[in-house]
Structure 1
């Protein structure tokens, strides 16, 4: 064979079997994440790998093979869940007619997504209901940080638009730039406590919680929202 005629820059022929195996492995991984998400939704954020595997109809060794350990599963599930939440929250803010309406829409989207499955939310964020708090690996910590940074950045743009309208400029101090971080911290902390509160007459609805948080963000603690 005359190797001199071969183009060294051309890629080597792909191994079809290897590509099929990679595709199969990726699909199997997605299936396992979906099954684990359903299991955590039912069993709770503190479910063990053995419980998750059993509820998923497979063995614990399969999950360890694909994710390494519980932190690896938390990371994989978290990247998907947080991406979905981020898309929903930012889309809600972009379609609003005013900065205040945008913030209210974002708070509502956040609470709705978290309320869809408090157990899954706690599992992927290390919230108060989860055993995973404090066990977050570096890569997942980066995903969680990026999630909150994206929302904070949009809240900052909403605040800037609100201030530039001139309606509150005389009342704004030099610390206003810290408002988005403080606001997000309050929404997250209040939202997680709301999620953990047992249903009853003293628990606000999602709409009531959204309205109250929006009032606190824009009007302060002493302001009482009107009916509706």
Structure 2
């Protein structure tokens, strides 16, 4: 008769721990947003109104905290990019929408973006999270390219999405780090420019009859 009560307490405790973990992740995002991507565990805990030992209890170390926050943020970015792709009416618009969604999410909090995309020393799990994210996005951006090519599958097709991700990420992160200035494009203009670079890169493979090159 004692087992159900014990199990019930265990379930409630697990639920409490999970809720507390979510609260700490949210608090970490707020702290990083204000303090910067290189904030220490002590600074994060102080900003969250708790002790450093609480964070170590739930996440093990800073790499564990980074991974936990990264899983949430990267998941949200992935959903946003997929949603942006689904609303597009043309392949080109699909690329613009996805690049803009990526830039807009990163711009919401550059500090949080840098916190979750910077690799912790020896943290292969964090690298895996990022690799999975960019591989997923590479798969999504290959779809508009295939539509542009009318279903053709030239040898370069397998390389282009990876190269495109490199361009989007490198240009996007440089844009993100550029100080505000009248000459700095907003995320919409930057997305249009990056998409133009991506399409020009495969322009020779697109029919001259395509509205993309007219």
* TM-score between both structures, scaled by the size of structure 1: 0.83
Aligned-residue offset at 1:201: 2.2
- Kindly state the Cα deviation for residue 139 of structure 1 after the two structures are TM-superposed: 2.4
**Higher helix fraction (1 or 2):** 2
Distance, in Å, in 2 between the alignment partners of 1:157 and 1:136 is: 34
Q: Secondary structure at the match of 1:164?
A: coil
Q: State the 4+ residue runs in structure 1 displaced beyond 6 angstroms.
A: none
Q: Is the 8 A contact 1:86 1:151 kept in 2?
A: yes
Q: Which residue in the other structure is 1:225 paired with?
A: none
Tell me how far 1:106 sits from its aligned partner: 0.1
Alignment map for 1:22-171 (pairs within 5 Å): 22-126=14-118, 133-135=119-121, 137-164=123-150
1:103·1:214 contact (CA, 8 Å) conserved in 2? yes
Tell me the alpha carbon deviations over residues 8-49 of structure 1, each in whole angstroms, 9 at most, x when there is no partner. Answer: xxxx64611111111111100000000010000000000000
Across the aligned residues of Structure 1 and Structure 2, the Cα RMSD in angstroms comes to: 1.8
User: CA–CA distance in 2 between the matches of 1:97 and 1:125?
Assistant: 31
Max Rg structure:
1
Distance between the aligned counterparts of 1:141 and 1:103, measured in 2?
A: 25
Following superposition, the deviation at residue 154 of structure 1 comes to 1.0
**Does residue 177 in structure 1 map to residue 158 in structure 2?**
yes
Corresponding residue for 2:167?
Answer: 186
Comparing 152-161 and 185-194, the one that deviates more: 152-161
Q: Which runs of no fewer than 5 residues in structure 1 stay unpaired?
A: 1-11, 127-132, 222-228
Shift of 1:136: 5.8
Matched, 1:204 2:171: no
Aligned residue number for residue 19 of structure 1:
11
User: What 5-or-longer segments of structure 2 have no aligned partner?
Assistant: 203-214
Change (3 A) 1:20 1:217: same
TM-superposed CA distance for 1:202, in Å, is: 2.7
TM-score (norm 2): 0.88
Deviation, 1:220, is 4.5
